[in-house]
A and B are shown apart, each in its own frame.
Chain A
Amino acid sequence: MSGAVLARRRWASPLWVGGLVVAAIAVLAVIGPWITPYDPTAFAVRVRFVPPSLAHPFGTDEFGRDVFSRVLAGAHYSLAIGFGAMAISVAAGVPLGLLAAFSRGIVEAAIMRAVDLLISLPPILLGLLILAVTPPNLWKTILAVGLVYIPILTRLTRSVALGLLEEDFVEAARARGEGGVSILAREILPNAWPAIIVESGLRVTFAILLGSSLSFLGLGPQPPSSEWGLMIAESRQFIDQAPWIGLAPGLCLCALLVAVNLFGEGLREQLDPQLRGRGDG
């Protein structure tokens, strides 16, 4: 295959398409609050329920607020929940998994039983439980979603690390007299990262889904913020009259989820040969 074909293929790959869309949404999310054509929370009773038009591309809602401005101002929530939650579960799950793999014995047993326990609770219940008792806000939603995926990453990291600990190059490092920390940093982690990145890349979609579901149930950012799941929930009572209020954030959420999913699948495609080569299929 010629270089040009290869290059074209790479540009059309899910990794690039998904990555570009996610990057575009991320840019919009960051600058969104400053470029909204209208104030996303200002009421304007004279223009309630205006259908999409040039002045209001996504129409207006029951308070006359510009839906386009609200969607733009709320774009950062889903990204923050998805990637924030993933960051939390990687930050907690990876060290726990490594600790379990290295320590064996009672520490490993304690960690793995706790993991079994958390996994045996249906994901949304964990979120409901945390958000039910204290007033919900964005940070608690991120934390609740992150907590759900910690056990999954702990399990994954432990099994990858256990596999690596059996490898010859770790044996060689031990023979060279390297200590535990050095083996961890120089032999295990660099080889475990691909699997961890692939798993977290694929989980971001589910983290965004779970986060927006919680918001939809009223357990995320509170009104008047314009988190997309919350906007969809609030639009329900006007669905006959003004479907655009819910459709606009809904379609944006779908675009984001499809792009993130594409990106995750693309990451896996890129990194998987490496994983397969190491033989943990």
Chain B
Amino acid sequence: MDGRHKAGHDVGGIASRRRAAMTGFVLRRLLAVVGILWAMSVLIFGIVHILPGNVAYSILGEYATPASIAALEARLGLNDPLATQYWRWLTAMLQGDLGQSLTMDRPAGPVIFDALGRSAILAGISFVLVVLLGIGGGVYAATHKDQASDRALALGQFLFIAVPDFFWAILAILLFASWLHWLPATGYERIGQVGVMGWLAHLILPVVVLSLGLTAHVSRLTRSVMLETLESRYVLAAYAKGLPRRLVLRRHALRNALPPTITILAIDAGILIGGIVVVETVFAYPGLGRLLVFAIERRDLPLLQAGMMVLTAIYAVANLLADLSYALLNPRIRYGRSAA
């Protein structure tokens, strides 16, 4: 908590050493991400190819003839040794070639990045909503501790965390689409075709359903961290100095409550990705999550592998960003390996 105050006592040399430590930290984390992605590629490739079940058979289904299986195996290079196949897949991927989707007979890359763009819209808006409402709600609940509004928020949080998002989605469709006819139940329209309002109308329900659980999670955590800092001595001291309440909350309490919140947001990025798969499926929203489910249903293994790699990479980068911002906000982490 006192890192900021110590900064005032810096003498020459410490600042540059600190910068070097930060650079080292960033480099180490980047290296870890590369390592994770490589291990992931082995894992994904391994599970798809080594698990019982012939790849060509699982693509063609139960009515496959031996001849058609042999033809497909030759086309996909499935008769080469596994190491050769893995190497071919990995090097192609490193050159930006994500493989060929079997069901669509198109390169998987453009298909995936198209869908990814639409998922990013959904996830981006949801994430902003989660950050604003989650932290805002948590601070509000902490400053209104044990009042009726705090209790109501706690009950809401409990329900939002415990009830599955696909059931919220069903309820939302039932209420806002089937009964009230306010919003479209499913689908996605391009902004050029239906205008901003039509585009937004298709986004509202998925965004809200995707944000519910995470907002509850974040606000619950923010509340408990805020309560802790509000009872700390430096907050008391700030009040004793006669600082106005707003300033104490923002400068002293919230600032110290943020690092743990950011860690939670990184964990929630994973839950968000999981949520996206489900929410996109319920709302028939053509994003990466639905594409993955499609690839599974159609046994489009190249598309599945590529989509999983892309999603894993995004998740790893989200975790990296969270680590870095945590280190930036919490000076104690920066000094070498003490965090480990």
Contact = CB atoms under 8 A, between A and B. Distances in A.
A, B bound = yes
A229 to B, nearest CB: 7
Given A121-B312, A125-B312, A257 B163 contact: yes
Contacts of A122: 270, 273-274, 311-312, 315
A243 B174 contact: yes
A69 interface: no
B297 A239 contact: no
B142 to A, nearest CB: 19
B166 A216 contact: yes
Interface residues of A, number: 40
Nearest to A129: B47
B293 interface: yes
A117 B270 contact: no
A53 interface: no
Contacts of A213: 164-166, 274, 277-278
Nearest to B49: A133
B158 interface: yes
B66 interface: no
A124 interface: yes
B52 A134 contact: yes
Contacts, number: 121
Contacts of B32: 116
B326 to A, nearest CB: 16
Contacts of B166: 212-213, 216, 229, 232-233
* Main secondary structure on B side of the interface with A: helix
A73 interface: no
Nearest to A235: B170
B274 A124 contact: yes
B49 to A, nearest CB: 9
Nearest to A114: B39
B44 interface: yes
Identify the 4 closest CB pairs spanning chains A and B, nearest first. Answer: A124-B274, A132-B296, A122-B270, A122-B273
Contacts of A243: 174, 178
Contact of B277 (A120, A128, A209, A233): A128
A116 B163 CA distance: 29
A159 B293 CA distance: 37
A236 B159 contact: no
Most B Cβ at <10 Å: residue of A133, A205, A254: A133
A240 B170 CA distance: 11
Interface in B168-217: 170-171, 173-174, 178
A278 to B, nearest CB: 19
A240 B178 CA distance: 6
Given A213-B164, A258-B158, 18 more contacts: A116-B36, A120-B40, A121-B315, A122-B311, A123-B274, A124-B274, A125-B273, A125-B311, A129-B43, A129-B48, A213-B165, A229-B164, A229-B166, A233-B166, A236-B282, A239-B174, A258-B162, A261-B158
B255 to A, nearest CB: 21
A262 to B, nearest CB: 9
B261 interface: no
A217 interface: yes
B315 A133 contact: no
A218 interface: yes
A246 interface: yes
A217 B277 contact: yes
A205 B304 CA distance: 28
B18 to A, nearest CB: 26
Contacts of B311: 122, 125
A250 interface: yes
A117 to B, nearest CB: 5
A237 B170 CA distance: 11
Nearest to A246: B170
B104 to A, nearest CB: 17
A133 B278 contact: no
A80 interface: no
A98 interface: no
B272 to A, nearest CB: 9
A219 interface: yes
B240 interface: no
A149 to B, nearest CB: 13
A161 interface: no
19 contacts: A116-B32, A117-B39, A120-B36, A120-B316, A121-B312, A122-B312, A124-B274, A124-B278, A128-B296, A129-B43, A129-B47, A133-B301, A212-B164, A213-B165, A216-B166, A229-B164, A239-B174, A250-B171, A257-B163
Nearest to A135: B53
Interface centre among B158, B274, B277, B301, by most chain A C-beta atoms within 10 angstroms, is: B274
B164 A253 contact: yes
B274 A239 contact: no
Given A120-B316, A216-B278, A125 B308 contact: yes
Contacts of A232: 166-167, 170
A257 B166 CA distance: 14
Chain B CB within 10 A, most for which of A128, A210, A243, A247:
A128
B162 A205 contact: yes
A184 to B, nearest CB: 25
Interface string B23-54: 00000000010001001100110011001110
B161 interface: yes
A272 to B, nearest CB: 13
Contacts of A123: 270-271, 274
A167 B332 CA distance: 26
A189 interface: no
